[in-house]
Amino acid sequence: MKKILEVTDLCKTYVINKRQNNVLRNVSFSVSEGEMVAVMGPSGSGKSTLLYTVSGMDSMTAGQSVFNGKDISKLRPDELAELRLDEMGFIFQQMYMLKNLSVLDNILLPARQSKANTLSPKEKHTYAKELMHKLGIIEIADNDINEVSGGQLQRACICRSMINKPKMIFADEPTGALNRSSSDEVMDELCKLNSEGTTIMLVTHDAKVAARCSRVLYIVDGNIKGEYNSTESDTRKRERVLNSWLLEMGW
């Protein structure tokens, strides 16, 4: 399958009080179209930094990240911003939404900002409602964001990430702030999107969440220590095998 993301010898170094902190060290991996990949590892291992760096949300110190044929390290800031807006979707643990807008208007915001989205305002509005209906939250379209549950708000964030029909979704702990029931609902929706062809890369500390993915990268001290692949269709069996593998990795 076609590679949508190819990362080669990626390094990320922060300098704090004149001391270097090498968060990522010569990381290399690729993601094919249609994959759903989880990134796991201990706290401080570089999971979120990896997600932000390969997607261009943070700058890299060295190496290369090629997204959909474009080397993001060579793009101007405005080109990179357009790439993230038009071809990538983002979901975070903290559900960043504007308090002065309704849930629907928050979902529509990236579509209104995108120059590449050629739908008319009416068509964008219709598509946003279609996404909300698909994720079972159409009834909260006109609500303020403080009037809905965390699970509903995270599903709204998924709708927002999909509004410009991205090539790939990057998710940083998308279930981290949710209870188990809401977490399962959100993962059900992400798995549905993936089954329909959307490529997803997510960071998680939850083995139950990672077991929903067909591939898991395990990162320690800024290096990918191991990779888990599974073709097992039974999620419970996959979770048991994954947990055993994580213990071998030192989880």
| Residue 99 belongs to some domain of the structure | no
pLDDT at 167 over 90: yes
pTM: 0.94
| Residue 148 belongs to some domain of the structure | no
| Residue 100 belongs to some domain of the structure | no
Contact 222, 27 (CB under 8 A): yes
CATH of the domain at 67: 3.40.50.300
CB atoms within 10 A of CB 105: 17
Specify the amino acid at residue 82.
E
| Residue 104 belongs to some domain of the structure | no
Q: End-to-end CA distance of the chain: give it in Å, rounded.
A: 31
| Residue 33 belongs to some domain of the structure | yes
Locate all alpha helices (DSSP H) within the chain, ordered by sequence. Answer: 47-54, 77-87, 103-113, 121-134, 150-162, 180-195, 207-210, 235-249
Please give the average per-residue pLDDT across 113-138, as a whole number.
Answer: 95
| Residue 229 belongs to some domain of the structure | yes
What domain range is 38 assigned to? 3-94+167-249
pLDDT value at residue 235: 82
- 50: Cβ–Cβ under 8 A, 6 or more apart, which residues? 10, 24, 27, 39, 203, 219
pLDDT tens string 131-149 = 999 999 999 999 999 999 9
Domain count, the chain: 1
Contact 200, 120 (CB under 8 A): no
| Residue 10 belongs to some domain of the structure | yes
| Residue 124 belongs to some domain of the structure | no
